[in-house]
Each structure stands twice: as C-alpha cells, then as structure tokens.
Amino acid sequence: MFKKNGYEVVPEFKWVEYSENGKTIHIDVEPGVGVPSLVNLPGSERWQKEMPDWAKNRREEIIERIKAKCDHLDWEWKEY
C-alpha cells in the first residue's frame, strides 16, 4: 500500500487499485507464473468510456502514478 499526496496505489494478485479522495478504480492484472504478470490498461478511447467521471481526463496521470509505485514488480503493461 502506498499513500502519498491524497492518493493510494494497492497492487493485488488480480488487479491494482488506485484510490483518491474516497474514489477507487481497479486495473486488471493477469498473474504470471514463471513469466511477468500482465497489466491490462484500457486504451485512451476505452478509458474515456469505462472510467468514472473523476478519472476520465486523467488517464496519463493515473497510469504514471500506478507505474511509479509498482516498478518493483515483475509486470508487463499492455493496452487493450
């Protein structure tokens, strides 16, 4: 769990949770066995359709924060 500047990043087995000001989103993770886990990031258009209003126009900022807090994990990042 990492909390700084009003947001929190919590990597879990099948998702990573991003929270700020009592609002939360989850990004799916496909666990890897003997290979890196795969983080499925919504592409720009999908992000706009699927994310709550508070996160819609903040994709790059949120992804950057998640990646920075999870850089110690053996994860690959893939847009869908």
Q: What pLDDT digit, counting tens, does each position of 17-34 carry?
A: 999 999 999 999 999 999
DSSP state of 24: E
Domain region containing 49: 2-12+27-79
Q: What is the pLDDT of residue 5?
A: 75
> Domain for residue 22, yes or no?
no
**What pLDDT sits at residue 1?**
54
| Six-digit token string for 50 | 């699927």
Below-50 pLDDT ranges, the chain = none
Q: Is residue 38 part of a domain?
A: yes
Count of domains observed in the chain: 1
pLDDT of residue 2: 53
- Do strands 37-41 and 75-79 pair parallel, antiparallel, or not at all (unpaired)? parallel
- Angle at CA 63, nearest 5°, toward 10 and 38? 70
The maximal CA–CA distance of the chain, rounded, in angstroms, is 37
Res 4: pLDDT: 59
User: Would residue 39 count as lying in a domain?
Assistant: yes
pTM of the predicted model as reported, rounded to 2 decimal places = 0.89
Tokens in use for 76? 């690959």
